[in-house]
């Protein structure tokens, strides 16, 4: 059984990280040359960790299933990255970023971790600027900032709508330098199939070459999992199609506790579902809510007319529009947190005011911003009394400079010009706040196995604020893990190379082969996607934006039955020892079928609403989340016990010494 010890340092909150760095053990440079580290996943967290560990002198092996680390899902992040630099002079500080993150997570995250995140956030921006990341700049040359949901300051640094891509290229360039030096061995198109434990410690992985099908053994003194989230358990999500839970779930089955799996974020601004044959959803950045106003028609008859194509949104008078976020949350308006905005959109659509053919969409309208920016640009350009056409043209130029690639992407997918007609958006699964349980050092309950970025649970509580995913990934990779892993590795300076010709590796490889043969042994009635889609419908309908005890109980049973049917009847063509993409998918969906059941079990046990976990039985009179701090102010960490329904619950009580718990309000 794993032991849950959060290892949170004593002392004042603002001093914990500094004190901890001074207290932990170090590995001297000469000894680092003799220590191997495996990093699985090469997105922002994994790429940053690999580059930094190699720069420090460790021998690093990286693994990713993509053909290049540049294709990690981190590339899809659009809107920006938070940091408490207070460039706008609007009152930001480390404490304010810490407070907003705790409050945004509905008081379900660990104080010490979140404060550390805020504390190192400024260093991330300096690091990335030094790497050449082309952040947007103001007229005077200073880095520009914009606002994101759930905060009252502008702290989000951005590169148009391509922030994730630019940050990933920075981390990738740092990795390439180490690859060129021989300090990183990169294994692209390789998938981790299992974690290898030797004497209870993580000492390597079993990997599969996805091109040749060959099974490989790789040893190390420690293993870092930076493999992202598990949103694809819903089938339709904003995640890349290949995003999966396999590495984390393999570790979970070997003893790593899985924390808060039901804490999953529904993003409010995604392109709506278009049909049954769709394989993924596309995100429209939350940054658009800076300038876009969200609305639906006030009158039911107008909503019906729009759905039937008899009325265009541009024909609806201003007084006939319901800007419902501005109406319900005047202090934050369109910049409320994602969980609040998502539930509000669902409520309006469920009430019959949705605006697309399915009735599951609301408008995101830029007409007001275009006119506002156009007037401002006309004045600064010396144009007196410009006509409306000139104002609109100038305003569109400003919007294009800020969000141009996002508007272009929307038009290519929907075939409508968002400069001329409002975007249509609807909530979709986006990010997972749950993940492997880690202590303050980012170590799981398996000694030597670390989890970074979205793969761990540590910083976002029950809801992640926008632009905090990139911040956490880079904080973990550049500024946290490289310090804390040394404390563990300091005990391995005399261990020597970990051999792969051992009983532990033999057994792990055998288990991998047996599992693949079992996957290939189904009767062949249904495809892998058939099961993934069925799982996704159960998850969305019964574990999605709103949950209740009855449907969660049904979900547990339905997923269990579906998993049994999957193992008996799935069709996986081809062979094990060759390129086989259906076999890849089958292994991932098999893990999703176990995770889905634990997800429902976790949501069922948490009899409260908080953040992205909304139980219909627990809500205020205004329809907001109703927390139960007396009974559920803890991290739910689940220990594997054979079947997901038998998982054993461990609780990490959350202590708030520096923040007063309040009913979360954005009014």
Check pLDDT > 60 for residue 602: yes
How many other β-carbons are positioned within 10 Å of the β-carbon of residue 15?
12
User: Mean pLDDT over residues 92-105, rounded?
Assistant: 97
pLDDT in tens, 264-289: 999 999 999 988 888 899 999 999 99
Instruction: Please tell me which residue in 108, 307, 338, 588 is annotated as part of the active site.
Output: 338
Whether 217 sits among the annotated catalytic residues: the reply is no
Q: Mapping DSSP to helix (H, G, I), strand (E, B) and coil, where does residue 319 land? A: helix
Cα 281 to the center of its chain, rounded Å: 15
pLDDT in tens, 185-204: 999 999 999 999 999 999 99
pLDDT at position 66, please? Answer: 97
Domain ranges of the chain: 270-428, 503-630
Domain covering 503-630, topology: Methane Monooxygenase Hydroxylase; Chain G, domain 1 (1.20.58)
pLDDT in tens, 343-359: 999 999 999 999 999 99
Check pLDDT > 80 for residue 508: yes
User: Mean pLDDT over residues 372-396, rounded?
Assistant: 95
Report the relative pairing of strands 36-40 and 634-639 from DSSP bridges.
unpaired
How high is the mean pLDDT of the chain? 96
134-138: long-range contacts (C-beta < 8 A, 24 or more apart)? 134/159, 134/166, 135/159, 135/166, 136/160, 136/402
Check pLDDT > 70 for residue 416: yes
How many other β-carbons are positioned within 10 Å of the β-carbon of residue 287?
26
Compute the C-alpha angle 629/630/633, nearest 5°: 50
H helix count then E strand count, the chain: 19, 19
Cα 197 to the center of its chain, rounded Å: 28
User: Mean pLDDT over residues 134-156, rounded?
Assistant: 94
Half-sphere exposure of 489 (CA within 13 A, CB side): 33
Check pLDDT > 80 for residue 1: no
Q: Mapping DSSP to helix (H, G, I), strand (E, B) and coil, where does residue 235 land? A: coil
Say if residues 393 and 418 touch (Cβ distance below 8 Å): no
Distance CA 154, CA 589 (A): 40
Alpha-carbon dihedral of residues 656, 662, 663, 667, nearest 10 degrees?
Answer: -130
Compute the C-alpha angle 374/380/381, nearest 5°: 85
Distance CA 637, CA 588 (A): 22
Instruction: Indicate the pLDDT class of residue 665, thresholds 50, 70 and 90.
Output: confident
Compute the C-alpha angle 448/221/47, nearest 5°: 80
Say if residues 258 and 599 touch (Cβ distance below 8 Å): no
Whether 270-428 shares its CATH topology with 503-630 is answered: no
pLDDT in tens, 199-219: 999 999 999 999 999 999 999
Segment holding 651, helix H or strand E? strand 648-653
What residues pair up with 217 in beta bridges, in sequence order? 206
pLDDT at position 3, please? Answer: 82
User: Mean pLDDT over residues 33-59, rounded?
Assistant: 98
Instruction: Indicate the pLDDT class of residue 623, thresholds 50, 70 and 90.
Output: confident
Check pLDDT > 90 for residue 311: yes
User: Mean pLDDT over residues 16-28, rounded?
Assistant: 97
166 closest CA partner among 138, 143, 148, 141? 143
Level-2 CATH architecture, domain 270-428: Alpha-Beta Complex (3.90)
Strands (E) across 102-200 are located at 156-157, 184-188, 190-198
Half-sphere exposure of 212 (CA within 13 A, CB side): 8
User: Mean pLDDT over residues 147-162, rounded?
Assistant: 94
User: Mean pLDDT over residues 416-423, rounded?
Assistant: 97
């Amino acid at each position: 059984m794993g032991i849950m010890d959060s290892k949170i340092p004593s002392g004042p909150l603002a001093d914990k990280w500094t004190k901890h760095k001074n207290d932990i053990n170090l590995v001297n440079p000469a000894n680092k040359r003799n220590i191997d580290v495996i990093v699985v996943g090469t997105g922002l967290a994994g790429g940053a960790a690999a580059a930094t560990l190699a720069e420090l002198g460790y021998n690093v092996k990286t693994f990713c299933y993509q053909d290049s680390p540049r294709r990690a899902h981190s590339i899809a992040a659009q809107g920006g990255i938070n940091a408490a630099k207070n460039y706008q002079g609007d009152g930001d500080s480390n404490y304010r970023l810490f407070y907003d993150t705790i409050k945004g997570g509905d008081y379900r995250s660990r104080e010490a971790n979140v404060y550390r995140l805020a504390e190192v956030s400024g260093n991330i921006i300096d690091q990335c600027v030094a790497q050449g990341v082309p952040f947007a700049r103001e007229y005077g040359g200073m880095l520009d900032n914009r606002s994101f949901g759930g905060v009252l300051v502008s702290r989000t640094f951005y590169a148009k709508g391509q922030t994730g891509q630019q940050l990933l290229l920075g981390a990738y360039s740092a990795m390439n330098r180490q690859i060129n030096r021989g300090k990183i061995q990169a294994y692209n198109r390789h998938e981790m199939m299992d974690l290898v434990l030797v004497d209870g410690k993580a000492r390597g992985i079993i990997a599969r070459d996805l091109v040749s099908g060959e099974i490989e053994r790789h040893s190390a003194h420690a293993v870092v999992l930076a493999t992202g989230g598990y949103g694809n358990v819903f089938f339709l999500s904003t995640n890349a199609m290949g995003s999966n839970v396999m590495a984390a779930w393999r570790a979970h089955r070997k003893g790593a506790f899985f924390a808060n799996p039901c804490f999953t974020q529904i993003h409010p601004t995604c392109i709506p579902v278009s049909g049954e044959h769709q394989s993924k959803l596309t995100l429209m950045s939350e940054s658009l809510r800076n300038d876009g106003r969200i609305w639906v028609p006030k009158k039911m008859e107008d909503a019906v007319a729009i759905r039937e194509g008899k009325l265009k949104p541009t024909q609806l008078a201003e007084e006939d529009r319901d800007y419902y976020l501005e109406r319900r949350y005047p202090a934050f308006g369109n910049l409320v947190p994602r969980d609040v905005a998502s539930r509000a959109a669902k409520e309006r659509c469920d009430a019959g005011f949705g605006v697309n053919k399915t009735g599951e969409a609301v408008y995101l309208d830029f007409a007001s911003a275009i006119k506002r920016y156009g007037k401002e640009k006309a004045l600064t350009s010396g144009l007196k009394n410009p006509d409306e056409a000139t104002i609109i043209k100038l305003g569109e130029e400003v919007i294009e400079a800020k969000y141009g690639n996002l508007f272009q992407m929307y038009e290519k997918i929907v075939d409508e010009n968002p400069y001329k007609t409002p975007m249509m958006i609807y909530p979709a699964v986006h990010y997972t706040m749950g993940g492997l349980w880690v202590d303050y050092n980012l170590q799981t309950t398996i000694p030597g196995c670390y989890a970074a970025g979205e793969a761990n649970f540590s910083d976002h509580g029950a809801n992640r604020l926008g632009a905090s995913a990139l911040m956490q990934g880079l904080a973990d990779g550049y500024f946290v893990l490289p310090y804390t892993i040394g404390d563990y590795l300091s005990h391995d300076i005399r261990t020597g190379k970990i051999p792969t010709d051992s009983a532990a590796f033999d057994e792990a490889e055998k288990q991998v082969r047996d599992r693949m043969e079992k996957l290939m042994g189904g009767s062949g009635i249904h495809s892998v996607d058939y099961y993934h889609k069925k799982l996704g419908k159960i998850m969305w309908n019964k574990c999605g934006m709103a949950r209740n005890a009855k449907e969660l109980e049904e979900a547990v049973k339905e997923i269990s039955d579906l998993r049994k049917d999957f193992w008996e009847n799935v069709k996986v063509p081809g062979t094990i020892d060759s390129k086989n993409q259906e076999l890849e998918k089958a292994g991932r969906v098999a893990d999703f079928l176990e995770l889905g059941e634990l997800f429902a079990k976790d949501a069922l046990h948490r009899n409260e609403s908080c953040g992205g976990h909304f139980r219909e039985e627990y809500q205020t009179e205004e329809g907001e989340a109703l927390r139960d701090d007396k009974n559920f102010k803890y991290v739910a960490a689940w220990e594997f016990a054979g079947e997901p329904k038998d998982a054993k619950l461990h609780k990490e009580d959350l202590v708030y010494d520096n923040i007063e718990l309040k009913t979360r309000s954005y009014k």
